[in-house]
Structure 1
Protein backbone atom coordinates (compact mmCIF):
# COMPACT_ATOMS: atom_id res chain seq x y z
CA UNK A 1 0.00 0.00 0.00
CA UNK A 2 1.36 3.40 -0.94
CA UNK A 3 2.06 5.77 1.91
CA UNK A 4 1.13 9.43 1.56
CA UNK A 5 4.08 11.75 1.27
CA UNK A 6 3.88 14.75 3.56
CA UNK A 7 6.09 17.70 2.78
CA UNK A 8 7.99 19.23 5.69
CA UNK A 9 6.56 22.59 4.59
CA UNK A 10 3.07 21.60 5.80
CA UNK A 11 4.15 20.20 9.16
CA UNK A 12 3.57 22.41 12.21
CA UNK A 13 6.60 24.56 12.89
CA UNK A 14 7.66 26.07 16.25
CA UNK A 15 6.52 29.66 16.63
CA UNK A 16 8.65 32.23 18.43
CA UNK A 17 5.90 34.65 19.39
CA UNK A 18 6.58 37.76 21.46
CA UNK A 19 4.64 40.86 22.43
CA UNK A 20 5.65 44.19 23.95
CA UNK A 21 2.81 46.07 25.68
CA UNK A 22 2.98 49.85 26.11
CA UNK A 23 0.65 52.30 27.87
CA UNK A 24 0.05 55.90 26.77
CA UNK A 25 0.00 58.87 29.17
CA UNK A 26 -3.76 59.51 29.15
CA UNK A 27 -4.54 55.80 29.40
CA UNK A 28 -2.19 55.56 32.38
CA UNK A 29 -4.12 58.32 34.15
CA UNK A 30 -7.43 56.54 33.57
CA UNK A 31 -6.15 53.11 34.54
CA UNK A 32 -3.77 53.81 37.44
CA UNK A 33 -4.04 57.46 38.44
CA UNK A 34 -1.04 59.39 39.75
CA UNK A 35 1.88 59.37 39.63
CA UNK A 36 2.81 58.60 36.04
CA UNK A 37 6.15 56.95 35.28
CA UNK A 38 8.99 59.43 34.85
CA UNK A 39 9.09 61.00 31.36
CA UNK A 40 5.68 59.59 30.34
CA UNK A 41 3.60 62.33 28.73
CA UNK A 42 1.78 62.93 25.44
CA UNK A 43 4.07 62.94 22.44
CA UNK A 44 5.30 66.52 21.81
CA UNK A 45 4.81 67.94 18.32
CA UNK A 46 8.14 69.02 16.83
CA UNK A 47 8.28 71.70 14.14
CA UNK A 48 11.66 71.89 12.42
CA UNK A 49 12.87 74.17 9.63
CA UNK A 50 11.86 71.58 7.00
CA UNK A 51 10.15 68.65 8.72
CA UNK A 52 7.41 68.17 11.29
CA UNK A 53 6.81 65.41 13.80
CA UNK A 54 3.08 65.27 14.44
CA UNK A 55 1.45 64.29 17.72
CA UNK A 56 -1.41 61.78 17.57
CA UNK A 57 -3.32 60.08 20.41
CA UNK A 58 -2.62 56.51 21.45
CA UNK A 59 -3.64 54.56 24.54
CA UNK A 60 -2.13 51.10 24.09
CA UNK A 61 0.67 49.59 22.04
CA UNK A 62 0.86 45.88 21.27
CA UNK A 63 4.05 45.23 19.31
CA UNK A 64 3.74 41.63 18.17
CA UNK A 65 6.48 39.70 16.39
CA UNK A 66 6.79 36.04 15.41
CA UNK A 67 8.69 33.72 13.10
CA UNK A 68 5.48 33.40 11.06
CA UNK A 69 3.03 36.11 10.04
CA UNK A 70 -0.23 34.31 10.83
CA UNK A 71 0.04 34.41 14.68
CA UNK A 72 0.54 38.18 14.57
CA UNK A 73 -3.02 39.15 13.64
CA UNK A 74 -3.91 40.67 17.00
CA UNK A 75 -4.45 44.18 18.42
CA UNK A 76 -1.48 46.46 17.80
CA UNK A 77 -0.84 50.19 17.58
CA UNK A 78 1.44 52.68 15.88
CA UNK A 79 4.19 54.74 17.41
CA UNK A 80 5.25 56.63 14.36
CA UNK A 81 4.27 55.81 10.82
CA UNK A 82 6.36 57.29 8.05
CA UNK A 83 5.20 57.40 4.44
CA UNK A 84 8.14 56.81 2.17
CA UNK A 85 8.82 58.79 -0.95
CA UNK A 86 9.67 55.53 -2.67
CA UNK A 87 10.32 56.97 -6.11
CA UNK A 88 12.66 59.73 -4.92
CA UNK A 89 14.56 57.29 -2.70
CA UNK A 90 14.90 54.65 -5.39
CA UNK A 91 16.24 57.25 -7.81
CA UNK A 92 19.29 57.73 -5.58
CA UNK A 93 22.38 55.65 -6.43
CA UNK A 94 23.18 53.00 -3.81
CA UNK A 95 26.27 54.95 -2.70
CA UNK A 96 24.12 58.04 -2.05
CA UNK A 97 21.56 55.98 -0.11
CA UNK A 98 24.35 54.58 2.05
CA UNK A 99 25.58 58.10 2.86
CA UNK A 100 22.07 59.16 3.90
CA UNK A 101 21.70 56.10 6.16
CA UNK A 102 25.28 55.90 7.37
CA UNK A 103 25.65 52.20 6.61
CA UNK A 104 26.21 49.81 3.74
CA UNK A 105 23.07 48.44 2.11
CA UNK A 106 24.11 44.82 1.66
CA UNK A 107 26.31 44.19 4.70
CA UNK A 108 24.82 46.71 7.17
CA UNK A 109 28.25 47.99 8.19
CA UNK A 110 28.28 51.44 9.76
CA UNK A 111 29.93 54.25 7.82
CA UNK A 112 31.50 57.32 9.38
CA UNK A 113 29.41 59.93 7.54
CA UNK A 114 28.71 63.23 9.28
CA UNK A 115 25.03 64.14 9.10
CA UNK A 116 23.88 60.62 8.22
CA UNK A 117 20.86 58.97 9.86
CA UNK A 118 23.15 56.95 12.15
CA UNK A 119 25.25 60.00 13.03
CA UNK A 120 22.32 62.33 13.79
CA UNK A 121 20.43 59.71 15.79
CA UNK A 122 23.36 58.87 18.07
CA UNK A 123 22.63 60.31 21.52
CA UNK A 124 25.38 60.80 24.09
CA UNK A 125 24.90 61.14 27.83
CA UNK A 126 26.52 63.85 30.01
CA UNK A 127 29.61 61.65 30.42
CA UNK A 128 29.94 61.06 26.67
CA UNK A 129 28.58 57.51 26.80
CA UNK A 130 26.32 56.52 23.91
CA UNK A 131 22.74 56.05 25.09
CA UNK A 132 21.23 52.69 24.28
CA UNK A 133 18.26 52.44 21.92
CA UNK A 134 16.50 49.45 20.40
CA UNK A 135 15.12 50.12 16.92
CA UNK A 136 12.39 47.74 15.72
CA UNK A 137 11.04 49.35 12.55
CA UNK A 138 8.61 47.34 10.45
CA UNK A 139 7.49 47.91 6.84
CA UNK A 140 3.83 48.35 5.99
CA UNK A 141 1.82 48.88 2.84
CA UNK A 142 -1.69 49.48 1.51
CA UNK A 143 -1.34 48.74 -2.22
CA UNK A 144 -4.91 49.79 -2.97
CA UNK A 145 -4.14 53.31 -1.70
CA UNK A 146 -0.59 53.38 -3.08
CA UNK A 147 0.68 53.88 0.47
CA UNK A 148 3.94 52.29 1.60
CA UNK A 149 6.26 53.11 4.45
CA UNK A 150 7.69 52.15 7.82
CA UNK A 151 6.39 51.84 11.34
CA UNK A 152 9.29 53.54 13.10
CA UNK A 153 9.37 51.96 16.55
CA UNK A 154 12.18 52.72 18.98
CA UNK A 155 12.65 51.73 22.63
CA UNK A 156 14.82 54.01 24.77
CA UNK A 157 15.05 55.68 28.17
CA UNK A 158 15.02 59.10 26.48
CA UNK A 159 13.52 58.93 22.97
CA UNK A 160 12.72 62.66 22.87
CA UNK A 161 16.34 63.74 22.59
CA UNK A 162 16.82 61.58 19.51
CA UNK A 163 13.59 62.84 17.90
CA UNK A 164 14.55 66.47 18.54
CA UNK A 165 17.87 65.87 16.82
CA UNK A 166 16.10 64.19 13.91
CA UNK A 167 13.49 66.88 13.27
CA UNK A 168 14.95 70.08 14.73
CA UNK A 169 18.60 69.35 14.06
CA UNK A 170 21.73 70.41 15.87
CA UNK A 171 24.65 72.42 14.49
CA UNK A 172 26.54 71.74 12.37
CA UNK A 173 24.72 68.83 10.69
CA UNK A 174 21.03 69.87 10.85
CA UNK A 175 18.09 67.48 10.59
CA UNK A 176 18.15 63.76 9.79
CA UNK A 177 18.41 63.51 5.99
CA UNK A 178 16.27 60.39 5.89
CA UNK A 179 13.32 62.70 6.58
CA UNK A 180 13.85 64.20 3.12
CA UNK A 181 12.52 60.91 1.73
CA UNK A 182 9.64 60.28 4.16
CA UNK A 183 6.84 62.07 5.99
CA UNK A 184 5.77 61.31 9.56
CA UNK A 185 1.97 61.01 9.84
CA UNK A 186 1.62 59.68 13.41
CA UNK A 187 3.55 60.12 16.63
CA UNK A 188 2.81 58.60 20.04
CA UNK A 189 4.74 57.86 23.22
CA UNK A 190 4.24 54.83 25.47
CA UNK A 191 5.63 53.49 28.73
CA UNK A 192 6.55 49.79 28.56
CA UNK A 193 6.15 48.23 32.02
CA UNK A 194 7.80 45.04 33.19
CA UNK A 195 6.06 41.67 33.03
CA UNK A 196 5.83 41.69 36.84
CA UNK A 197 3.96 45.01 36.72
CA UNK A 198 1.48 43.65 34.16
CA UNK A 199 0.74 40.66 36.39
CA UNK A 200 -0.25 42.98 39.25
CA UNK A 201 -2.48 45.36 37.23
CA UNK A 202 -5.79 44.39 38.95
CA UNK A 203 -4.34 45.39 42.33
CA UNK A 204 -2.96 48.67 41.03
CA UNK A 205 -6.13 50.10 39.49
CA UNK A 206 -7.52 53.06 41.44
CA UNK A 207 -10.95 52.65 43.07
CA UNK A 208 -13.93 53.82 41.01
Structure 2
Protein backbone atom coordinates (compact mmCIF):
# COMPACT_ATOMS: atom_id res chain seq x y z
CA UNK A 1 0.00 0.00 0.00
CA UNK A 2 1.27 3.52 -0.79
CA UNK A 3 2.27 5.99 1.91
CA UNK A 4 -0.71 8.13 0.92
CA UNK A 5 -3.04 5.19 1.38
CA UNK A 6 -1.56 4.44 4.79
CA UNK A 7 -1.99 8.04 5.87
CA UNK A 8 -5.66 8.00 4.89
CA UNK A 9 -6.40 4.79 6.77
CA UNK A 10 -8.68 5.57 9.73
CA UNK A 11 -7.73 4.28 13.15
CA UNK A 12 -10.80 2.57 14.66
CA UNK A 13 -12.23 4.18 17.78
CA UNK A 14 -12.35 1.69 20.64
CA UNK A 15 -15.79 1.51 22.29
CA UNK A 16 -16.46 0.53 25.87
CA UNK A 17 -17.52 -3.07 26.56
CA UNK A 18 -21.06 -2.61 25.30
CA UNK A 19 -20.84 -6.14 23.88
CA UNK A 20 -19.73 -7.78 27.15
CA UNK A 21 -21.38 -11.22 27.45
CA UNK A 22 -24.59 -11.75 29.39
CA UNK A 23 -23.50 -12.83 32.86
CA UNK A 24 -25.10 -14.45 35.88
CA UNK A 25 -24.87 -11.31 38.01
CA UNK A 26 -25.12 -7.57 37.45
CA UNK A 27 -25.36 -4.31 39.38
CA UNK A 28 -27.11 -1.29 37.90
CA UNK A 29 -26.08 1.92 39.68
CA UNK A 30 -27.75 5.24 38.96
CA UNK A 31 -25.78 8.13 40.43
CA UNK A 32 -26.45 11.86 40.78
CA UNK A 33 -23.71 14.42 41.30
CA UNK A 34 -23.91 16.33 44.56
CA UNK A 35 -23.00 19.94 45.28
CA UNK A 36 -19.91 18.84 47.19
CA UNK A 37 -16.77 20.84 46.55
CA UNK A 38 -14.86 19.50 43.53
CA UNK A 39 -17.63 16.96 42.81
CA UNK A 40 -17.21 17.24 39.02
CA UNK A 41 -13.42 16.92 39.26
CA UNK A 42 -13.74 13.84 41.48
CA UNK A 43 -16.25 12.21 39.15
CA UNK A 44 -14.02 12.88 36.16
CA UNK A 45 -11.06 11.35 37.96
CA UNK A 46 -12.95 8.22 39.04
CA UNK A 47 -14.53 7.64 35.62
CA UNK A 48 -11.12 7.94 33.98
CA UNK A 49 -9.89 5.16 36.29
CA UNK A 50 -12.81 2.75 35.85
CA UNK A 51 -10.90 0.49 33.46
CA UNK A 52 -7.92 0.16 35.82
CA UNK A 53 -10.11 -0.40 38.89
CA UNK A 54 -12.08 -3.05 37.01
CA UNK A 55 -8.89 -4.82 35.93
CA UNK A 56 -7.62 -4.90 39.52
CA UNK A 57 -10.81 -6.59 40.72
CA UNK A 58 -11.17 -8.84 37.67
CA UNK A 59 -7.67 -10.27 38.22
CA UNK A 60 -9.06 -12.38 41.08
CA UNK A 61 -10.89 -14.51 38.51
CA UNK A 62 -10.41 -13.63 34.85
CA UNK A 63 -12.89 -16.31 33.79
CA UNK A 64 -15.74 -14.43 35.53
CA UNK A 65 -15.86 -11.80 32.74
CA UNK A 66 -16.11 -8.76 35.02
CA UNK A 67 -16.92 -5.56 33.10
CA UNK A 68 -18.14 -2.06 33.86
CA UNK A 69 -19.82 0.17 31.29
CA UNK A 70 -20.20 3.89 32.03
CA UNK A 71 -23.00 6.07 30.70
CA UNK A 72 -23.19 9.84 31.22
CA UNK A 73 -26.48 11.75 31.25
CA UNK A 74 -27.37 14.78 29.17
CA UNK A 75 -27.50 17.29 32.03
CA UNK A 76 -23.93 16.53 33.11
CA UNK A 77 -22.37 15.71 29.74
CA UNK A 78 -20.84 19.14 29.17
CA UNK A 79 -19.46 19.56 32.71
CA UNK A 80 -18.09 16.03 33.04
CA UNK A 81 -16.67 15.45 29.58
CA UNK A 82 -16.06 18.86 28.02
CA UNK A 83 -16.56 17.06 24.72
CA UNK A 84 -18.94 17.88 21.83
CA UNK A 85 -22.46 16.58 22.46
CA UNK A 86 -23.68 13.48 20.64
CA UNK A 87 -26.41 14.53 18.21
CA UNK A 88 -29.27 12.60 19.84
CA UNK A 89 -28.32 13.01 23.50
CA UNK A 90 -31.10 14.50 25.63
CA UNK A 91 -32.82 13.62 28.91
CA UNK A 92 -35.32 10.77 28.95
CA UNK A 93 -38.72 12.04 27.86
CA UNK A 94 -41.88 10.84 29.58
CA UNK A 95 -44.01 8.66 27.34
CA UNK A 96 -47.64 9.08 28.36
CA UNK A 97 -50.28 6.82 26.96
CA UNK A 98 -53.98 6.77 27.76
CA UNK A 99 -53.42 4.08 30.41
CA UNK A 100 -49.68 3.70 31.15
CA UNK A 101 -46.71 6.07 31.50
CA UNK A 102 -42.96 5.59 31.10
CA UNK A 103 -41.60 8.18 33.57
CA UNK A 104 -38.33 10.09 33.42
CA UNK A 105 -36.31 9.91 36.64
CA UNK A 106 -33.12 11.40 38.04
CA UNK A 107 -29.63 10.27 37.04
CA UNK A 108 -26.32 11.78 35.91
CA UNK A 109 -24.14 8.66 35.65
CA UNK A 110 -25.17 5.07 34.97
CA UNK A 111 -22.82 2.20 35.84
CA UNK A 112 -23.52 -1.26 34.44
CA UNK A 113 -21.41 -3.79 36.35
CA UNK A 114 -21.57 -7.46 35.35
CA UNK A 115 -19.75 -10.70 36.04
CA UNK A 116 -20.34 -14.38 36.55
CA UNK A 117 -19.58 -13.93 40.25
CA UNK A 118 -21.68 -11.79 42.56
CA UNK A 119 -18.72 -11.08 44.84
CA UNK A 120 -16.72 -9.46 42.02
CA UNK A 121 -19.62 -7.12 41.23
CA UNK A 122 -19.90 -6.33 44.94
CA UNK A 123 -16.19 -5.56 45.28
CA UNK A 124 -16.06 -3.40 42.17
CA UNK A 125 -19.10 -1.42 43.30
CA UNK A 126 -17.56 -0.95 46.75
CA UNK A 127 -14.29 0.34 45.39
CA UNK A 128 -15.95 2.70 42.92
CA UNK A 129 -18.27 4.21 45.53
CA UNK A 130 -15.36 4.61 47.94
CA UNK A 131 -13.53 6.57 45.26
CA UNK A 132 -16.54 8.73 44.45
CA UNK A 133 -17.02 9.60 48.12
CA UNK A 134 -19.46 12.48 48.67
CA UNK A 135 -19.25 13.65 45.05
CA UNK A 136 -22.26 11.45 44.18
CA UNK A 137 -25.30 9.97 45.82
CA UNK A 138 -26.90 6.68 44.82
CA UNK A 139 -30.28 7.28 43.22
CA UNK A 140 -30.91 3.60 42.55
CA UNK A 141 -29.04 0.35 43.09
CA UNK A 142 -30.49 -2.76 41.51
CA UNK A 143 -28.95 -6.22 41.82
CA UNK A 144 -29.73 -8.35 38.79
CA UNK A 145 -29.31 -12.07 38.24
CA UNK A 146 -29.63 -14.55 35.43
CA UNK A 147 -32.81 -16.59 35.76
CA UNK A 148 -32.67 -20.12 34.34
CA UNK A 149 -31.98 -20.08 30.56
CA UNK A 150 -31.99 -16.25 30.23
CA UNK A 151 -35.66 -15.94 31.13
CA UNK A 152 -37.43 -13.03 32.77
CA UNK A 153 -39.49 -13.54 35.91
CA UNK A 154 -42.61 -13.77 33.75
CA UNK A 155 -41.22 -17.05 32.45
CA UNK A 156 -40.23 -16.06 28.90
CA UNK A 157 -36.80 -16.07 27.26
CA UNK A 158 -35.51 -12.49 27.05
CA UNK A 159 -33.19 -10.96 24.44
CA UNK A 160 -34.00 -13.40 21.64
CA UNK A 161 -33.86 -10.67 18.98
CA UNK A 162 -30.41 -9.38 19.98
CA UNK A 163 -28.01 -8.81 17.06
CA UNK A 164 -25.02 -11.12 16.73
CA UNK A 165 -21.76 -11.11 14.78
CA UNK A 166 -21.13 -8.03 12.62
CA UNK A 167 -24.70 -6.86 13.24
CA UNK A 168 -23.89 -6.26 16.93
CA UNK A 169 -21.52 -3.28 16.55
CA UNK A 170 -23.53 -2.06 13.57
CA UNK A 171 -26.61 -1.82 15.78
CA UNK A 172 -25.00 -0.44 18.93
CA UNK A 173 -21.95 1.70 18.05
CA UNK A 174 -22.30 5.16 16.50
CA UNK A 175 -20.40 5.52 13.25
CA UNK A 176 -19.13 8.35 11.09
CA UNK A 177 -22.65 9.76 10.72
CA UNK A 178 -22.02 11.67 13.97
CA UNK A 179 -18.31 12.49 14.49
CA UNK A 180 -19.01 13.82 18.01
CA UNK A 181 -20.42 10.45 19.06
CA UNK A 182 -18.39 8.04 16.93
CA UNK A 183 -17.38 4.94 18.86
CA UNK A 184 -19.99 5.52 21.55
CA UNK A 185 -23.44 4.11 22.23
CA UNK A 186 -26.76 5.37 23.56
CA UNK A 187 -28.01 3.64 26.69
CA UNK A 188 -31.63 3.61 27.86
CA UNK A 189 -32.55 2.06 31.20
CA UNK A 190 -35.90 1.42 32.84
CA UNK A 191 -36.84 -0.45 35.99
CA UNK A 192 -40.08 -2.44 35.67
CA UNK A 193 -41.91 -4.24 38.46
CA UNK A 194 -44.34 -7.03 37.67
CA UNK A 195 -47.71 -7.64 39.28
CA UNK A 196 -47.43 -11.39 39.34
CA UNK A 197 -51.03 -11.93 40.44
CA UNK A 198 -52.26 -10.17 37.29
CA UNK A 199 -49.81 -12.10 35.12
CA UNK A 200 -50.48 -15.54 36.55
CA UNK A 201 -54.21 -14.95 36.23
CA UNK A 202 -53.70 -15.28 32.46
CA UNK A 203 -53.61 -18.68 30.83
CA UNK A 204 -50.36 -19.80 29.16
CA UNK A 205 -51.98 -19.16 25.77
CA UNK A 206 -52.98 -15.63 26.80
CA UNK A 207 -49.47 -14.91 28.06
CA UNK A 208 -48.01 -16.15 24.78
CA UNK A 209 -50.36 -13.86 22.84
CA UNK A 210 -49.17 -10.89 24.90
CA UNK A 211 -45.47 -11.67 24.35
CA UNK A 212 -45.73 -13.03 20.81
CA UNK A 213 -43.72 -16.19 21.50
CA UNK A 214 -44.37 -19.60 22.95
CA UNK A 215 -43.40 -19.95 26.58
CA UNK A 216 -41.78 -23.37 26.62
CA UNK A 217 -39.62 -23.30 23.49
CA UNK A 218 -39.53 -19.58 22.53
CA UNK A 219 -41.01 -20.00 19.04
CA UNK A 220 -42.21 -16.76 17.45
CA UNK A 221 -45.96 -16.62 16.87
CA UNK A 222 -47.56 -15.37 13.67
CA UNK A 223 -48.79 -11.77 13.94
CA UNK A 224 -51.83 -12.68 11.90
CA UNK A 225 -53.19 -14.62 14.87
CA UNK A 226 -54.12 -11.31 16.59
CA UNK A 227 -54.51 -8.61 13.91
CA UNK A 228 -56.30 -6.12 16.19
CA UNK A 229 -53.88 -6.28 19.13
CA UNK A 230 -50.16 -6.41 18.43
CA UNK A 231 -47.91 -8.53 20.64
CA UNK A 232 -44.99 -7.12 22.62
CA UNK A 233 -42.41 -8.54 20.19
CA UNK A 234 -44.18 -6.83 17.29
CA UNK A 235 -44.46 -3.44 19.00
CA UNK A 236 -40.77 -3.68 19.95
CA UNK A 237 -39.72 -4.31 16.33
CA UNK A 238 -38.83 -1.02 14.65
CA UNK A 239 -38.83 -0.69 10.86
CA UNK A 240 -38.07 2.67 9.22
CA UNK A 241 -39.83 4.25 6.24
CA UNK A 242 -37.46 2.47 3.85
CA UNK A 243 -38.40 -0.94 5.26
CA UNK A 244 -35.12 -1.38 7.18
CA UNK A 245 -35.42 -3.09 10.56
CA UNK A 246 -33.27 -1.56 13.33
CA UNK A 247 -31.99 -3.80 16.13
CA UNK A 248 -30.85 -2.87 19.63
CA UNK A 249 -28.90 -4.85 22.22
CA UNK A 250 -30.93 -5.83 25.28
CA UNK A 251 -28.95 -6.75 28.39
CA UNK A 252 -32.07 -6.99 30.56
CA UNK A 253 -31.67 -8.49 34.04
CA UNK A 254 -34.30 -9.93 36.38
CA UNK A 255 -34.27 -8.62 39.96
CA UNK A 256 -36.45 -9.02 43.00
CA UNK A 257 -37.12 -10.47 46.42
CA UNK A 258 -39.93 -12.98 47.03
CA UNK A 259 -39.89 -12.03 50.71
CA UNK A 260 -40.74 -8.43 49.81
CA UNK A 261 -43.11 -9.43 47.04
CA UNK A 262 -40.83 -7.74 44.50
CA UNK A 263 -40.46 -9.17 41.00
CA UNK A 264 -39.00 -7.11 38.19
CA UNK A 265 -37.03 -6.65 35.01
CA UNK A 266 -34.35 -4.00 34.56
CA UNK A 267 -34.41 -2.96 30.91
CA UNK A 268 -30.92 -2.18 29.58
CA UNK A 269 -30.90 -1.11 25.95
CA UNK A 270 -27.78 -0.18 23.97
CA UNK A 271 -28.31 1.38 20.56
CA UNK A 272 -26.58 3.24 17.77
CA UNK A 273 -29.72 5.33 17.25
CA UNK A 274 -31.59 6.66 20.26
CA UNK A 275 -34.72 7.25 18.22
CA UNK A 276 -35.13 3.49 17.75
CA UNK A 277 -35.72 2.84 21.47
CA UNK A 278 -37.82 5.99 21.78
CA UNK A 279 -40.04 4.77 18.94
CA UNK A 280 -40.27 1.39 20.64
CA UNK A 281 -41.50 2.99 23.87
CA UNK A 282 -44.04 5.11 21.99
CA UNK A 283 -45.44 1.99 20.36
CA UNK A 284 -45.58 0.19 23.71
CA UNK A 285 -47.08 2.93 25.87
CA UNK A 286 -49.15 4.96 23.40
CA UNK A 287 -49.97 2.08 21.09
CA UNK A 288 -49.87 1.27 17.40
CA UNK A 289 -52.43 2.43 16.51
CA UNK A 290 -52.77 4.86 19.46
CA UNK A 291 -54.94 3.39 22.18
CA UNK A 292 -53.74 -0.16 21.56
CA UNK A 293 -50.95 -0.23 24.15
CA UNK A 294 -48.67 -3.17 24.86
CA UNK A 295 -50.72 -5.55 27.02
CA UNK A 296 -47.53 -6.49 28.87
CA UNK A 297 -47.87 -3.13 30.64
CA UNK A 298 -51.11 -4.27 32.24
CA UNK A 299 -48.92 -6.48 34.46
CA UNK A 300 -45.66 -4.46 34.40
CA UNK A 301 -45.12 -0.92 35.66
CA UNK A 302 -42.17 1.29 34.68
CA UNK A 303 -40.71 2.98 37.78
CA UNK A 304 -37.68 4.71 36.26
CA UNK A 305 -36.38 6.00 32.97
CA UNK A 306 -33.01 7.36 31.94
CA UNK A 307 -30.99 8.17 28.81
CA UNK A 308 -27.19 8.11 28.86
CA UNK A 309 -24.36 8.17 26.37
CA UNK A 310 -21.59 5.60 26.66
CA UNK A 311 -18.49 7.44 25.41
CA UNK A 312 -15.60 5.66 23.69
CA UNK A 313 -12.98 4.14 25.99
CA UNK A 314 -10.38 6.75 25.02
CA UNK A 315 -12.63 9.69 25.90
CA UNK A 316 -13.48 8.10 29.26
CA UNK A 317 -9.83 7.39 30.09
CA UNK A 318 -8.89 10.97 29.26
CA UNK A 319 -11.32 12.60 31.69
CA UNK A 320 -8.72 12.71 34.45
CA UNK A 321 -6.19 14.65 32.37
Alignment TM-score, normalising by the size of structure 2: 0.55
| Aligned-residue offset at 1:20 | 1.9
Classify 1:33/1:194 alpha carbon distance in 2 versus 1 (closer, same or farther; 3 Å): closer
Matched, 1:164 2:282: yes
Q: 2:265 aligns with which of 147, 150, 167?
A: 150
- Show the counterpart of 1:177: 295
Q: 2:314 aligns with which of 192, 196, 201?
A: 196
- Show the counterpart of 1:21: 70
| Aligned-residue offset at 1:134 | 0.9
Listed as ranges, the matches of 1:3-152 within 5 Å are 14-33=63-82, 35-73=84-122, 74=125, 79-113=189-223, 114=227, 115-152=230-267
Distance 2:141 2:309 in 1: 13
Classify 1:61/1:13 alpha carbon distance in 2 versus 1 (closer, same or farther; 3 Å): closer
Q: Deviations over 1:40-88 (max 9, x none)?
A: 1110011101100111011111112212222122268672111101111
Alignment TM-score, normalising by the size of structure 1: 0.83
Structure 1, unmatched stretches of 5+, are: 1-11, 204-208
Structure 2, unmatched stretches of 5+, are: 1-60, 130-139, 143-188
| Aligned-residue offset at 1:144 | 4.8
Task: Return the structure number with greater helix share.
Answer: 2
| Aligned-residue offset at 1:197 | 2.3
Q: Is contact 1:121-1:176 (8 Å) kept? A: no
Q: Deviations over 1:2-21 (max 9, x none)?
A: xxxxxxxxxx7821122221
Classify 1:100/1:112 alpha carbon distance in 2 versus 1 (closer, same or farther; 3 Å): same
Cα RMSD (Å): 2.2
Task: Return the structure number with greater strand share.
Answer: 2
